Amino acid sequence: MTSDRLTLVDWRVRVADLYARVRAQADPLDGHRLWREGRAELFAHHPQSPTERWETRDSVPYWPYDPRWRFEVPLLDAEPAELLAPGGDDGTVTLRRTGRVDLPGVGSLDVWWLDQYAGGVFVPLKDATSGTTSYGGGRYLLDTAKGAWLGGEDGTVVLDLNFAYHPSCRYDPRWICPLAPPGNTVDVAVEAGERL
């Protein structure tokens, strides 16, 4: 195993640990502060962070935390679908629609299962800020293959749009990321989470 692969393992462990510490916070605002600090540390110092086009390496810009963007919603049934997305060195990534969520005031989003690449729940988002004040390809709300999970129980999912973050391809051309398909596109301007 090469040194690069070991640093990738370390990066994934640190991200999963960060989300575990976020979930342990009683107040989502405290969890969000912890998440921002942890991401800033990874961006500034970890060799596996996507930083080739990173402008400052000191901070990631975010909108202020707004509790109105936090939802715990049931995972609803959805018509099965499959998407093939380019995955760079990982080949083609197969996304299988496993359900959907309805976010009040935002809209419906498809919930995908990453069929390979460690498997996991994947919820991207493209909204009215995409291409203006956030990355044009959208942002990620959940990517459990990378440890990004905010919780949920008894068939519910926590989606806190304040934790929306840009995919790695926004920062570094060596990454090829699956982007938000039409079922993950809404007309609302989600001024929450990471921004340009």
Report pLDDT for 43: 82
Q: Cβ distance 168 to 50 under 8 Å?
A: yes
Q: How many residues does the chain have?
A: 196
Q: Which two tokens stand for residue 61?
A: 């810009």
One pLDDT digit (tens) per residue for the chain, 196 residues: 578 788 888 988 999 999 999 999 999 999 999 999 999 888 888 887 776 555 545 568 999 999 999 999 999 999 999 999 876 666 788 999 999 999 999 999 999 999 876 789 999 999 999 999 999 999 999 999 888 999 999 999 999 999 999 987 777 777 778 889 999 999 999 999 999 9
Q: In what order do the strands lie in the sheet with 82-86?
A: 82-86, 92-103, 107-114, 120-125, 139-143
Residue type at 72 in one-letter notation: E
List Cβ neighbours of 122 (8 Å cut-off, separation of 6 or more): 95, 111, 112, 113, 114, 140, 142, 143, 144, 145, 178
17: number of CA atoms within 13 Å, CB side? 8
Tens of pLDDT, residue by residue over 141-162, are 999 988 899 999 999 999 999 9
Q: State residue 17's pLDDT score.
A: 96
| pLDDT score of 70 | 98
Q: What pLDDT shows up at residue 89?
A: 65
**pTM beyond cutoff 0.85:** yes
All residues at 6 or more sequence positions from 30 whose CB lies less than 8 Å from its CB, including other chains:
none
Q: Phi, psi (5° rounding) for residue 105?
A: 80, -5
What's the token pair of residue 42?
Answer: 């990874």
**What residue ranges do the domains of the chain occupy?**
3-184
